[in-house]
A and B are shown apart, each in its own frame.
Chain A
Amino acid sequence: DAGVTQSPTHLIKTRGQHVTLRCSPISGHKSVSWYQQVLGQGPQFIFQYYEKEERGRGNFPDRFSARQFPNYSSELNVNALLLGDSALYLCASRPGLAGTTGELFFGEGSRLTVL
């Protein structure tokens, strides 16, 4: 079975541009979360979506937005990119809000470099 898939795997943008990152959860998983991981640090929670509704948001500016589609895939959008947005963006899925096992399944991430 396919795991969590993310695209693109790598991308380079310049300051002020906009970026869209995509995530497909594991089949049957309805909850998707997004994390930002800056080099040398642990991942930081950005958003959680469940059944197309935002269920949680971390401490990130309004330049960051996301949405979830009827097929449970998700997009993370970042506007007006800053150098500090350079990071690995991770998507994770789980069956529901409170799954039977509690584990979160992560994708391999999209590495964004802002020049």
Chain B
Amino acid sequence: EIVLTQSPATLSLSPGERATLSCRVSQSVSSYVAWHQQKPGQAPRLLIYDVSNRATGIPARFSGSGSGTDFTLTISSLEPEDFAVYYCQQRNNWPYTFGQGTKLEIK
């Protein structure tokens, strides 16, 4: 099973700042990495698929990058609604797996 390790576990930033979230994968997953956002009491929402493609309706401040085993989600300028938990996910090999999440909290 492919393991995804996200860092940091918690990221404390202020609105307007830039957020950089990391996802390291235990083996190469080609470009099959996605990012999901989850707010308290809500279902997750797809943000990014295949490393860098924004899902429908996702603002341009969200971007993804990386290759091989290291991937990054960047939020260029944080809005109040961006404070949530973020999960990376691989779909290269079954079972598809998620990272443990990074909680982005208001500083």
A binds B: no
Chain B residues with CB under 8 Å of chain A are none
